[in-house]
Amino acid sequence: MTELPPPDTAARPEIVAMGLDALVVRFAERFTPEANAAARALARDLMAAPLPGQTEIAPMLASVLIRFARGQTTAAALGAALGARLAAPLQATATAGRIWHLPAAFDPANAPQLAEVATLAGRSPGQIVEEFCATELTVLALGFAPGQPYLGLLPEHWQMPRMEALNQRVPPGAIATAIRQVVLFANASPTGWRMIGRTAFRPFQPASAHPFPLASGDRLRFHAIAPAELAALIGAGDPMGGARHEAAP
C-alpha cells in the first residue's frame, strides 16, 4: 500500500493526482470565498493559456480539475508546470460576467421549507424572502448535475447544515439552501438542502443553442412573483422561464 502525504495545513494550494489522467489543484478543504475566487481565476487562466497535454479544465467550489492526455504529458510534468503557473501572478483578468434576473415564487407550495429556514435563521419568512431577493448571488461553480449552479454567499445567519433526512424529491427549478449557499436544481432530485422557492428557469436547456446558460462568475438576483405567474411561466414551457440577463457594469 502506498504511503500518503500528510494533510496540508498551509494556505498555498496543493496539487494532487486523481485517477490516471487528472490532477486536482486544491485551494482549501472547506469553502471560503477566497478559495472559490482563486479556483475560478486559475481555471480562467488555464482555459486562456493551456498547459501542454491539458485536455479539460473544470473549476469546482474550492478546487480545479485538470485532465490530461496520457500520451502527451505525465502527472509529474503537468504538476510541475502547474506549480510554476501558480507561483506567478495569473495572467487572465477576471471577466465581469453577466447579471441574471430570475423570477421565482416563494409561497408555501413552492417553498415547503421556507418556514423552517426562517426559524433556523432567526427571521420571519417574509424577511427571509426579502433578504434572499436583495442579495446579489455569484455562480460559485456548476456541478453535480448539468448546468446546475452553486450560488452564494447569503448572509451569515443563513449558515445552516444540510438536513439529516433527505428531501426525497424536489422538482426542476427548485431553489434550495444550506451552508449560506443556494442550488437551483436542473432536474427533479433528492437533496439534503431545504427548498425555499421555485423558478421556471432551467439551468440545462438541451434543445437550445446554448444548453448551459449560466457560467461560473455570473451574478444572479431573484425577483419574487405570484404563484400564478410562476405557473404560467412553467406552463409556457420556455426553459428561460422569464429570466433575463444584462452585461455587468
Partner 1 sequence: MSGAITLLSCGPGLTVQDLGRPGLASVGLSQGGAADPLALFEAAALLGLPAPAACLELAGSGARLRLSQDHRIALTGAPREARSDGRALRWNAAHELPAGAVIEIGAAVAGVYAYLSVAGGIATEPELGGRGAHLAGGIGGMLGPGTALPLGPDPAPGTAALALPLPDRFAGGTVRLIPGPQSRYFDAETRARFAATPFVIARANRQGATLDQDPPGAPFEAALAPAGLVSEPILPGDIQITGGGQAMVLLAECQTTGGYPRIGSVIPADLPRVAQAGPGTALQFRWITADEADLASPPEAQILRALRTAARPAIRDPHDIADLLGYQLISGMVRGDEQEDA
The residues of the shown chain that bind partner 1, judged by CB under 8 A, are 1-2, 4-7, 16-20, 22, 24, 26, 28-31, 35, 43, 55-63, 65, 67, 70-71, 75, 141-148, 150, 179, 186-187, 204, 206, 211-212, 216
- For partner 1, the closer CB: 75 or 114: 75
Nearest to 155 by CA among 195, 187, 119, 128: 128
CB of 52 to partner 1, least distance (A): 16
- For partner 1, the closer CB: 76 or 228: 76
Residues 48, 58: Cα–Cα separation, whole Å:
13
Q: How many CA atoms lie within 13 A of 114 on its CB side?
A: 22
Contact 125, 118 (CB under 8 A): yes
Nearest to 186 by CA among 245, 219, 144: 144
CB of 209 to partner 1, least distance (A): 12
Q: How big is the CA angle at 167 (ends 161 and 168), to the nearest 5 degrees?
A: 150
Name the phi and psi angles at 197, rounded to 5: 175, 175
- For partner 1, the closer CB: 28 or 115: 28
CB of 215 to partner 1, least distance (A): 8
CB of 130 to partner 1, least distance (A): 28
- For partner 1, the closer CB: 1 or 87: 1
- For partner 1, the closer CB: 84 or 188: 188
Contact 15, 6 (CB under 8 A): no
Name the phi and psi angles at 195, rounded to 5: -85, 120
CB of 197 to partner 1, least distance (A): 21
